[in-house]
Amino acid sequence: MNSNVDKIKERLSIVDVVSSYLTVEKAGKNYKAKCPFHNEKTPSFFISPDRGSYYCFGCGEKGDIFSFVEKFEGIDFLGALKLLAERAGVDISSSYNKKSRDDREIYYEIMEKATSFFETEFSKNPEARSYLMNRGLSDKTIKLFRIGYAPNTWRSVSDYLLKIGYKKKDLEIMGLIKSKDENSFYDRFRGRIMFPISDSSGRVIAFSGRILDLSSDTDKSSYEEAKYLNSPDTPLFNKSNVLFGIDKAKNSIRTRGYSIVVEGQMDLIMSHQAGFTNTIAVSGTAFTDSVVDDSSERDGNESKINNLGLVRRLSPNIIFAYDGDSAGIRAASRSAMIALSLDMQVKIAILPLDKDPADIILENADNWKDIIKNSANIVSFHIDRICKSTSDIRQRGRQIREIIFPFLAMVGSAIERSAYITEIHSKTGLDESAIIKDFEIYENTHSIKKAENKEINNINANIPSRRDHLEQRLFGVIFWQKDNKNIQELRSSFEESIGSDLFQNMHNRHKPNTDTLAFQAEMWYGGKTDALAPDIKEIALSLEEEILNEQKLLLQPLDAEDKLVKFNAIAKRIEEIKQNRSL
């Protein structure tokens, strides 16, 4: 019997899957598109219906429908399996059993059970429903977003989950409980309306809870910290890499050609209810943290860029619709600067000072439509603000340098920057040649742009690299087929090619995930081992090529004879690999 992977592949062609994400065009018997995994102006991403695979001649990315969805959506193999199985109408529930489940699957189960529990409790709480109805939500919307309620008691969800067999340590890992000591613990979320946060495949990975009622006997001091309480970082949830509502908005972003970013859960949900289903929210994430201009904070900036990775692949056009006060404008500007550095077209929606999107939509949804329709280019918006704030030419010049130049430094296109400089000149009255000279000085004295560009080259740093993916596939089969003579011979051959020390380091790195990788390999090949050897041989060659390319980079510059000899030997081996394997 075919595996679930085979069944899905039989029902979904590579062209169908890729074309649901990208605009593809016929190229002989194949298809081509602009690669979503690196910036390019002309298509170098080719899709082969015969092979059921894709290959990018620009960045080297290749694979099948599963690896494409993993990479594009920023999810793991099981997340891609879930998405594609639903699309293909394949039931994969029988693939999971108690023995094969890894910790992550248990965590997903816990979050799903907790979501259902909160939904049930919501149905019993008229006060929670009344609050949401007064905010303008319909029953249909409440069910769509699976909004729930955490009872105002010390142990409601924990008692429920422990009773049906889950472990206390797993509940704590997933941020559902907090421990006072070894034997004493309590629910993190109490007396709160619960908004589930899902990954792009729709699996619940975290919660954001809004305080509802303080009139209870429980310790009210716990509520004083924040009106909203979010899950901590967990093995499933990293607040820097998740956008609220992305699972429900992604298809609409792709079809409408732009995304709307708001700050809060209610803003997002009301926007969806008003028909703007291409809206996502940054609530509970680190998306609006300051733009990094210090190398010591580089990792944080990398995460924020990753936060926009999927959105940018869906559409390069984005509108930030934060609150209209000064704090909202500053937050939108920080986010916009990151988006500009990713070569996105950025606009800002101009909201009234005292209202957020949810308030505006509640009063009149048509007003929200007009605000989105009349959103302004982010740079033009700030130029106009400067002109309104002062007529003094010197003050305008200073504000242009302080406010506008950082945006221009993020713009990759010289033509766009030139157009902005012309706009600055025409609106402010500043001399155009002086603007150009000052901007050149700014670029020479600020390192932000160069530092950011290092990150732009790989907007998917949170997603496993091609080498990581190849390693996981290879060692998954090695762990799964530990008694298969042919596979172990290939293993030995690969070890000999790359060296025992490097191989052992890789083996030790993946060994803690033996069960997970073996399980994924078994699901991938569906128990059929006849195709394993040629497939693993090609994976091993591809992985060796990745390693050799990394070693070539480390040899730069070629300022010594021994470096040149090693470089030439590596280049020769890479050429041999290319000649001995298919694309």
For residue 157, the number of C-alpha atoms closer than 13 Å in the C-beta half-sphere is: 34
**Beta strand pairing call for 62-63 and 53-56:** antiparallel
Are the C-beta atoms of residues 160 and 167 closer than 8 Å to each other?
Answer: no
* pLDDT string in tens for the chain (583-residue length): 357 888 899 999 999 999 988 889 988 888 999 888 877 777 888 898 988 888 887 777 888 999 999 888 888 888 888 899 989 888 876 655 544 457 888 999 999 999 999 999 999 999 999 999 999 999 999 999 999 999 999 999 999 999 999 999 999 999 999 987 767 899 999 999 999 999 888 899 999 999 985 444 444 444 445 688 999 999 898 877 788 999 999 989 988 999 999 988 999 999 999 999 999 998 655 443 333 333 333 333 333 335 677 788 889 999 999 988 888 888 889 889 888 888 889 999 999 888 899 999 999 999 999 999 999 999 999 999 999 999 999 999 999 999 999 999 888 788 888 999 999 999 999 999 999 999 988 887 764 444 444 444 444 444 456 778 788 888 988 998 888 888 889 999 999 988 999 999 999 988 888 877 776 777 666 556 666 788 788 888 888 888 888 887 777 677 777 878 888 888 888 888 877 654 4
Give the neighbor-by-neighbor strand order of the sheet with 192-198: 148-150, 192-198, 204-211, 228-230
Q: Roughly what angle, to the nearest 10 degrees, separates helices 466-480 and 500-510?
A: 80
φ and ψ at 120, to 5 degrees?
-65, -45
CB of 483 within 8 A of CB of 503? Answer: no
User: In the beta sheet, which residues pair with residue 41?
Assistant: none
Residues 6+ apart with CB under 8 A from 325: 353, 354
- By the 8 A CB rule, do 206 and 236 touch? yes
Q: Tell me how far apart the alpha carbons of residues 19 and 499 are, in angstroms, rounded to a whole number.
A: 41
By C-alpha distance, which of 30, 2, 231, 207 is closest to 95?
2
Q: pTM score, two decimals?
A: 0.71
